[in-house]
Amino acid sequence: MIPRSFFLQLIEQEFGEFEDFLHQSTDREIHGFLAELHPADIADIVERLQEEDRTRVLGLLSEELAAEVLTLVEDHHKPEVLESIPEQTLSKIVRHMESDDVTDILEEMPREEAEEILEALPKQDSEQVRRLMSYPPDSAGGLMQTELIKVPPDFTLGQSIQRIREKQAEVGEILSVYVVNESEVLLGIIPLRTLILEDPGKKVSEVMVSAVISALVTMDQEQVAALFRKYDFISLPVVDAQSKLLGRILVDDVVDVIEEEASEDMYRLAGVDKEERVNDPPLRSIRLRLPWLGINLLTAILAASVVGFFQTTIQKVVVLAVFMPIVAGMGGNAGTQSLTVITRGIALGDLTFSNAKRVLFKEVLTGLMNGLLLGGLMAVLAFLYRGNPMLGVVIGLAMICNMFIAALAGTAVPLILKWAKVDPALASGVFVTTFTDVTGFFSFLGLATLFLRFLT
C-alpha cells in the first residue's frame, strides 16, 4: 500500500494527481486509503472532487464515518456534497449524527427533502431536530445539541457514573453531568473530574457546582462566543426563560461561530457579501459585489464634486493636484485604522456605550497627534519639493484636520450605527471613506484657496 503521507502530499500540492489515482484504483484500494485518513482529511478531499468522484468516495465510507465527514465539510460546500448522496443513504447517515449536526445538514437542503429525512428518523430524534430547527441558526438554540447527561440531585455519584455508561453511546462526548429537578430546571453541574475523584457514595447535591453560568436559548451566537472566551468554557448549558435545561453547546461549535463572525466582519468592512467564495463563478461575484461598488461610486462622485468646486484654484496652482491624493489617502488609512479597532472592540464586547466617551477621546487624540507628526513631515517635504513654505503649511494643516476627522468618524460612525441597531461592520466603511475623502479635499483645497495669493 502506498504510504498515507504520499497521498496527503498529493492532496495538498497536486490534487489532479490524486484524482488520477482515484480513477486508476479499485474500490478496495481507495477504501484502504480512506480508512487511514482522519475524517477532516476526507472532508477536504470530498469538497474538491467532481460530483461523480465525490459520490463514489462517499459510497465507500461506512455510515458512521460518512456522518463524521459530513459534519466537517465547510458550510458553503455542504449543498453540493449533499446532492451527491442518495436520499435513502442520507437518511441512514444522519442517524449517526448529533442533533445539532443533523439540524445543520437539513437546513442546507430543500424543505421537501429535509421533511422526508425527518420522517425517516425515529420519532424522538425527529422531534428534537424539529425543535432545534425552530430556533434562529445564529442563536444559542440554533447552536445547541440536545444530547447530554442529566441526573436528579438525590442521585449518588456512583449512580451518575452508571447513567453515563448507559447513555454514552447516544450522547457522544461527555464533559460534565447536569443536575436537574423534576421540572427539568437546571440546579447545577458536576464536572467529569469530580465524578472520577470523589467518593461514589456521595450525593450529587453535595458536590455539584450550583453557581451555573448558562446561555438563554434566544441568546445571539456572538454573546455565546463571548461567554466561552471569558470563562474558558468547553461546554455551556442552554436554558429557557424558566431555567429549564434544553441542551448544551460544545466549544467546537463556538470555534466555528468565532471564525464565521470574524470572516463576516472582514467581508463587510470590504463591502463584500459574506456568501462569496474564491471559487465562485464570475457572474455570481459580479452580482454580489456590484451593489456596494455602486454605493462607493456615489460617494466618489460626492468627493469629486468637492474637487470640482475648487477647480479654479487647481488651475492656478497645478501642483495642488500632486498632493491631493496624499491628503485623502492618509485620512482614509487613519479612518480605517480607527474603524477596525472600534468594530473589533464592539464585536468582542470591549467597547460599550459606558466607556465610549473615553475610547472616542483616545482615538481622536491619536488621530490628532499622528496628524501633527505626519503633517509636519509632509509640510517639510512639500517645502523642499517646491520651495514654497506656504504650500507646506497648507498641506500640513490639511493633513492634521483630515486625520482628526478620520479618527472621529472611524470611532463615532460604528457607535452610532450600533445605537441605531445596524451592524457597524456593514455600513461603516462607506460612511468613513466618504467623510475622509470629502474632508481631505475640502480642507486642502479650501486652505489653498484661502492662501492662494501666497501660492502663486
Strands lying side by side in the sheet with 176-180: 150-151, 176-180, 186-191
* % the chain with pLDDT above 70: 91
Predicted pLDDT of residue 361: 93
Model confidence pTM above 0.85: no
Phi and psi angles of residue 186, each rounded to the nearest 5 degrees, phi first: -70, 120
Predicted pLDDT of residue 268: 65
Q: What is the pLDDT of residues 330-382, one digit of tens each?
A: 998 998 899 888 887 887 777 888 888 999 999 999 999 999 999 999 999 99
* CA distance linking residue 413 with residue 410, whole number of Å: 6
Q: What is the pLDDT of residues 386-443, one digit of tens each?
A: 889 999 999 999 999 999 999 999 999 888 888 887 777 666 777 888 888 898 999 9
Predicted pLDDT of residue 2: 46
Which residues, given as ranges, of the chain have pLDDT below 70? 1-17, 262-280, 425-427
Find out whether 399 and 327 touch, Cβ atoms under 8 Å.
yes
* CA distance linking residue 272 with residue 291, whole number of Å: 10
Question: What DSSP element (H or E) covers 179?
Answer: strand 176-180
Predicted pLDDT of residue 267: 67
Cβ density class 342-365: b for 16+ within 10 Å, e for less = bbbbbbeeebeeeebeebbeebbe
Phi and psi angles of residue 292, each rounded to the nearest 5 degrees, phi first: -70, -35
Predicted pLDDT of residue 278: 64
